[in-house]
Structure 1
């Protein structure tokens, strides 16, 4: 969502919350009112037949049957509690949106002329062989997770700054994507890690082979960048 859309959503939420608070603390208003008994009813002519009920008694019984009863204090209190809780939930959601907007990652784009690409840290390639060996060992799911976590450890060891809003996986992808590497392979390796870490279906050797191709391409690209940088 854009910044303007977030601000509009926040403004609408504030209006809704204010309406809920007003409705919660306002005095209840009866939707139906009893008839005014002070207004005299017109006289009803008497009928000679005593066995037939008089219209006056029928009218009085009918009015007593349709007269609404006062709302229960318990029901009023329950409605007010629900409205207050709804207002609190809306306030919490608005605060979370504002905090997320404030902590949105501000990553320097590589296309910025003032951005200077750093050299590839040695930590990224120091354990490359060990990383490949982890990927070849054990069940495919565990091997993919172990290899990616080792890559995350290597990226963290470089000491490059990390945005507080980033996860370790996002940080690893952003840092390695700084250099001229195959980003499709990097994204595929990260997707395989998420699949191995969070899915419940079975992973087979085809997933391991995919991860191996991605990882070996990534290592080769980083080594090429180091070689080109050293030649310069």
Structure 2
């Protein structure tokens, strides 16, 4: 889910939760209402004629209905159901946010036949080393965000294009994951960045220590890859050709 989709889901859940809480804490209202009370009009007086009448007016039947009055037990039961529904919405949103912050990186393997693993850019290593120093001081949240943004800025130096559906964080995860680095450390550092960027709770020294350890492992892995790539690119000394029939010394 993208950042905009996450914000929309959280906003919608918050609106639903607020409506449920307001409904649960409001004044109880009757769930059903009975028919309005019928007002009867007394019959008009009968005018008698001089001649005797054989008919006698019948009395008019009146009916009254009492409104429905819910019992206090029913009102409390409805309020409890609404509160439980609000709690379920809160738990679902918290679980969704936690799963998004803790998700592992989805790395593209680049199995194309013509794909060649790029060289580790010096800008990427330099930025990672600088961010490692910044992580050791300052407020943990800001330091973690700055550390990951440093990787995002220097990841473009590899020359790998960014996919249309990728966020900047996904692109950085994919680029760094091209090399044989510790994927768990990479995923944990990305999760720490999302937690520091989008959460509202406090981040302490435990989060800082995790970020420092993750970045140290990634730097060590990238340095090993860069050293191996430099050794492979270094020109190998060419042994001079020995004329045919000439024997080597000691042979």
Give me the TM-score of the superposition, normalised by structure 2.
Answer: 0.48
Where does residue 130 of structure 1 map in the other structure? 130
Counterparts of residues 29-44 of structure 1 (less than 5 Å): none
**Structure 1: segments with no counterpart, 5+ residues:** 1-47, 53-106
> 2:196·2:203 contact (CA, 8 Å) conserved in 1?
yes
Q: CA deviation at 1:113?
A: 3.9
Could you say what the CA RMSD is over the residues aligned between the two structures, in angstroms?
2.4
Whole-angstrom distance in 1 between the partners of 2:121 and 2:159? 9
1:175 & 1:163 partners in 2: Cα distance?
11
The CA deviation at 1:212 is 0.5
133 and 164 in structure 1: CA distance in 2 versus 1, 3 angstrom threshold: same
Spell out the pairing of 1:112-127 with structure 2 (5 A cutoff). Answer: 112-127=112-127
2:121, 2:157 within 8 Å by CA — same for their partners in 1?
A: no
- Residues 134-157 of structure 1: CA distance to partner in whole angstroms, max 9, x if unpaired? 111201111111111111111134
In the TM superposition, 1:103-118 aligns within 5 A as 109-118=109-118
Distance 2:229 2:220 in 1: 14
Following superposition, the deviation at residue 129 of structure 1 comes to 2.4
Cα distance in 1 between the residues matched to 2:218 and 2:56: 106
Matched positions, count: 134
SS of equivalent to 2:160: coil
What is residue 208 of structure 2 aligned with on the other side? Answer: 208
In the alignment, is the contact (CA less than 8 A) between 2:129 and 2:219 conserved in 1? no
TM-score normalised to the size of structure 1? 0.52
Superposed displacement of residue 120, structure 1: 1.5
- Deviation digits for residues 44-96 of structure 1 (CA, Å, limit 9, x no counterpart): xxxx85846xxxxxxxxxxxxxxxxxxxxxxxxxxxxxxxxxxxxxxxxxxxx
Q: Is the alpha carbon distance of 1:108 and 1:141 closer, same or farther for their aligned partners in structure 2, counting shifts above 3 Å? A: closer
Q: Looking at secondary structure, tell me which structure has more helix per residue.
A: 1
- Give the superposition deviation at 1:112: 4.1
- Shifted more, 142-151 versus 119-128: the winner is 119-128
Contact 2:120 2:158 in 1 (8 A): no
Larger radius of gyration: 2
Return the alpha-carbon distance in structure 2 between the equivalents of residues 175 and 188 of structure 1.
16
Structure 2, unpaired ranges of 5+:
1-53, 59-106, 233-251
